[in-house]
Amino acid sequence: MKKFQSIIAIVITIVLAIGLIGCGTKNTADIKSGQPEAKNVTLTVSAAASLKDAMEEIKTLYSQEKPGVTITYNFGASGSLQQQIEQGADVDVFLSAATKQMDALKVKGLILDDTRKDFLKNDIVLVIPKDSSLIADFKDLTNANVKKFALGEPKSVPAGQYGQEVLTKLNLMDAIKSKVVYGKDVREVLTWVETGNADAGIVYGTDAKTSAKVKTVATASEDSHTPVLYPAAVIKASKNVDAAKDFINFLYSDKAKPVFEKYGFVFVAK
């Protein structure tokens, strides 16, 4: 019996020794590399609805470089996303379709200022269903045969704000006010025009390019509205600031530039 117990004791000693050697080797490797063990991170990115197609492609591209980072998107009207952040929503990165919403978060101290950059530009266009011939310009919105005109809610949808500025500049807003139906975001406006539920609508040039069911009949001049700039920034309350900063830097990089340009955005990051 004593001999058997001695054998077991020896076996246990050997197993413990092997375990300690393994741990020592692992710790030594970590010290030599100077790198912490990789961990998986999930980033929540709140982005303007007009960025959806480009950002989905960016997500695929970024995951190839950083497989340990999972990107979760929350698309919507910039004003609504701004309010969610102000109310404490768990967001790491915010991409707005206008500087107004980002400025509001800055004033309240909710973003990391050094991560903010206005990195994209866009156009404001008038679209109609592809098989329609009702109108050819903004001024035609006053025609009696135009019954419904779609516009994003100006208070929360930047495209709606820009569109209202254009119509006011052209002295058309009061004349067509009774025809306007307001969408919760620019993609809803686009859908209404695609399906014929609206005779025309104002969207971004990039949105018009994503649809084969609409056609652009007019582009607003740049002096008729506030510059359409898209800022991005890391939210100060993020629990993954380093990973969020890395993602933001990727958006501003030459690697992301071709993706945004593919969808019609003008890349202005430097």
pLDDT at 25 over 80: no
Residue spans of the domains in the chain: they are: 41-121+230-267, 124-224
pLDDT at residue 265 in the model? 97
The pLDDT assigned to 178 comes to: 97
Q: What is the pLDDT of residues 64-105, one digit of tens each?
A: 999 999 999 999 999 999 999 999 999 999 999 999 999 999
Q: For 220-226, which contacts have Cβ atoms below 8 Å and span 24 or more sequence positions?
A: 220/123, 220/124, 220/125, 220/126, 220/138, 220/162, 220/163, 220/166, 224/165, 224/166, 224/169, 224/170, 225/124, 225/162, 225/163, 225/165, 225/166, 225/169, 226/98, 226/161, 226/162, 226/165
Question: What CATH superfamily classification does 41-121+230-267 receive?
Answer: Periplasmic binding protein-like II (3.40.190.10)
The answer, yes or no, to whether residue 170 has pLDDT greater than 80, is yes
Q: Which of the four pLDDT bands, split at 50, 70 and 90, describes residue 204?
A: very high
Is CATH 3.40.190.10 correct for 124-224?
yes
Q: How far is CA 148 from the centre of its chain?
A: 29
Q: Do domains 41-121+230-267 and 124-224 have the same CATH topology?
A: yes
121-134 per-position pLDDT tens digit = 999 999 999 999 99
Would residue 222 be called left, alpha or beta, if left means φ above 0 and alpha means ψ between -120 and 50 degrees? alpha
What value does the mean pLDDT take over residues 198-206? 98
Confidence at residue 270, expressed as pLDDT on a 0 to 100 scale: 80
Residue 37 pLDDT level (bands cut at 50, 70, 90): very low
